[in-house]
Amino acid sequence: KNSKTFKMGRMHSAGKGNARSALPYRDTAPSWVKSEPEDIVQEIVKMARKGMMPSQIGTRLRDMHGVPQVKYITGQKILRILHRQGLAPAIPEDLHHLIKKAVNVRKHLERNRKDKDSKFRLILIESRIQRLVRYYKLKQKL
C-alpha cells in the first residue's frame, strides 16, 4: 500500500508515530566535515570495545567529534561496521533495552507486590519482547 495512507500504529498506546526529523537528501559527507572514514571506523571500533551500544556510539560521534551521519562519511552504518569487525552486540539494541526494562519492572514487583498497574505494564512489555523476538527469528538475526 501507499505509505501515505497506511501507518502502523503503536502496540500499547494511541498514536501513529508520524513526527520525525528529516535527514537531508544526500549520500556524501558535507563539505565542512574534515574526518577521514578510516579514523571514524577506528573510533567506532574503540568505542565498541569499551562496551558502548551503536546508538551511544553515534551520539558520541555527533557530539564530540562533529560527525553528522556516519553513513555519509564511511558509506556504511555503525551496526554494519561493527558486524564486519565482529563486534556487533549479540542481541539487537531495541530488544536489549526492552529486556532491561522488564527486569527492572520485575524487581519493582518483588518489592511492591500490590502494584497492579506495574503488573499490567509488565505484561505489555513482555508481549512487545515476544513480538520483537518473533520478528528477529523471522529475519534470522537471533
> Which cell is 5 given?
495512507
> For every one of its 142 residues, what pLDDT tens digit does the chain have, with 9 covering 90 and above?
455 655 666 788 777 777 778 888 888 888 898 889 999 999 999 999 999 999 999 999 999 999 999 999 999 999 999 999 999 999 999 999 999 999 999 999 999 999 999 999 999 999 999 999 999 999 888 8
> Which cell is 8 given?
502502523
- The owner of cell 497492579 is 116
Determine the Cα–Cα distance for residues 70 and 27; give it in Å rounded to an integer: 11
* Cβ atoms of residues 68 and 31 within 8 Å: no
**Which residue type, as a one-letter code, is found at position 19?**
A
Other beta carbons less than 10 A from residue 126's beta carbon = 16
